Amino acid sequence: MAFEMRNERRILGGAVKRLREAKRITQDRLATSADIHFAYLSNVENSKKQPSLDVMCRLANALGVDLDDISYLATIYVVENAGAA
């Protein structure tokens, strides 16, 4: 169970980071826009924290995407890395 949660955090955090970097937004700016602490966003992107659905919605809104877009990127990540275990 702990491994699954860590893996899920890595996937979600990676998707948020990919979108943020693609839009050339700093962590500080995204955190401010999403009304979360900069350190919390850093922990999400680095797989140390599992964001709540509310936080994910705020991040998606601050990134100007739908929550589905983050889920889609996470799914692509899983498919790309399916054989890497």
Average pLDDT, rounded, for the chain: 86
> What percent of the chain stands above pLDDT 90?
60
**Helix%, strand%, coil% for the chain, nearest 5:** 75, 0, 25
CA–CA gap between residue 68 and residue 40 (Å, rounded): 22
CA–CA gap between residue 82 and residue 63 (Å, rounded): 27
CATH superfamily ID and name for 2-84: lambda repressor-like DNA-binding domains (1.10.260.40)
Domain boundaries, the chain: 2-84
Residue-wise pLDDT tens digits, 39-69? 999 999 998 998 999 999 999 999 999 999 8
Residue 7 CB partners (closer than 8 Å, separation 6+) = none
Q: Looking at residue 83, what is its pLDDT? A: 60
